């Protein structure tokens, strides 16, 4: 077990996921199907799309956006650019884990795109990865928490 420093550990240590990228003209139905098959919580919408070299993040489409679209009865054949969250908050590979936690906590983000100096996506910081990073450093504390920490058992369980 190594020493944890939320002020110096970079986001790359918090198990970022590879970015899943679609073009702005991809249909909502295509993106929903991709999210389902890839078991992804979010998709990045990029200007040049996947495989075209450098691309710039235009937006993000998350599970929350999908739920909103379903609730609104959105047309499945419309382009994803019509329902994405435009200009999402992005971070760089130099962003610390502490900053990621602060962004996620203060703004309710569960997915933060990681971009390089040119603005091209290189990864996705996700809550699951940050929690995994914390568990790596504090396994005994995390694994021995009771289901409801406010209700500690009066007596020790077991023999």
Q: What is the pLDDT of residue 50?
A: 52
pLDDT of residue 49: 44
Across the range 10-17, mean pLDDT stands at 93
How far apart CA 64 and CA 52 sit, in angstroms, is 28
Q: What is the pLDDT of residue 155?
A: 72
Helix (H, G, I), strand (E, B) or coil at 70: helix
Per residue in 31-54, pLDDT (tens digit) is 999 999 999 999 999 987 455 567
Strand partners, 129: none
Residue 1 pLDDT exceeds 50: no
pLDDT at 153 over 90: no
CA 118 and chain centroid, separation: 20
Structural domains of the chain, ranges and CATH numbers in brackets: 11-139 (3.10.580.10)
């Amino acid at each position: 077990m190594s020493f944890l420093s939320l002020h110096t550990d970079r986001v790359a240590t918090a198990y970022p996921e590879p970015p899943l990228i679609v073009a702005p003209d991809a249909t909502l139905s295509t993106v929903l199907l991709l999210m389902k098959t890839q078991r992804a919580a979010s998709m990045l919408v990029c200007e040049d799309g996947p495989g075209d070299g450098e691309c710039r993040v235009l937006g993000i489409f998350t599970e929350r956006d999908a739920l909103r679209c379903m609730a609104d009865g959105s047309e499945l054949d419309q382009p994803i650019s019509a329902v994405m969250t435009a200009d999402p908050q992005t971070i760089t590979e130099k962003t610390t884990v502490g900053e990621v936690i602060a962004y996620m906590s203060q703004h309710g983000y569960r997915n933060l795109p990681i971009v390089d100096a040119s603005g091209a996506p290189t990864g996705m910081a996700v809550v699951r990865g940050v929690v995994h990073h914390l568990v790596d450093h504090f396994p005994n504390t995390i694994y021995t928490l009771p289901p409801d920490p406010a209700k500690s058992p009066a007596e020790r369980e077991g023999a």
